[in-house]
Amino acid sequence: MNEYTEGIKINLVVHDKVLSAITDERVRQEQLRMSEKFTWTCLDNLVSNSEKLAVLAEEFGEVSKEIVEQLIANSQGCTVKVFESFNDKIEKELVQVAAVCVAWLEYFYGRSK
């Protein structure tokens, strides 16, 4: 514990699961690029920041879509099971958002300066 972490409570088991899910998604992205399903990822240095932002915006849009659909279903009295199924979709999309951000950061951190 130091001055930056004092009083902060992080469930490290959950934290590790989150980071593992993001890493798995990053690997999946690169595998899709290698199989040519994706022509590039946000790691690639020949892709502009505006193109990378478009990918991130698309992923964020998927999160937004699932939340809106969850709100609509909830307002129509959906079951707990249906509500939770939206949470599962939101979780998956958030991992994809995080993985896109990580790929973009990998590009920045990997550059020669």
pLDDT tens figures, 33-72: 999 999 999 999 999 999 999 999 999 999 999 999 999 9
**What φ, ψ does residue 21 adopt, rounded to 5°?**
-65, -40
What is the pLDDT, as a whole number, of residue 8?
Answer: 81
Residues 6+ apart with CB under 8 A from 3: none
**Can you tell me the distance from the alpha carbon of 59 to that of 53, in angstroms, rounded to the nearest whole number?**
10
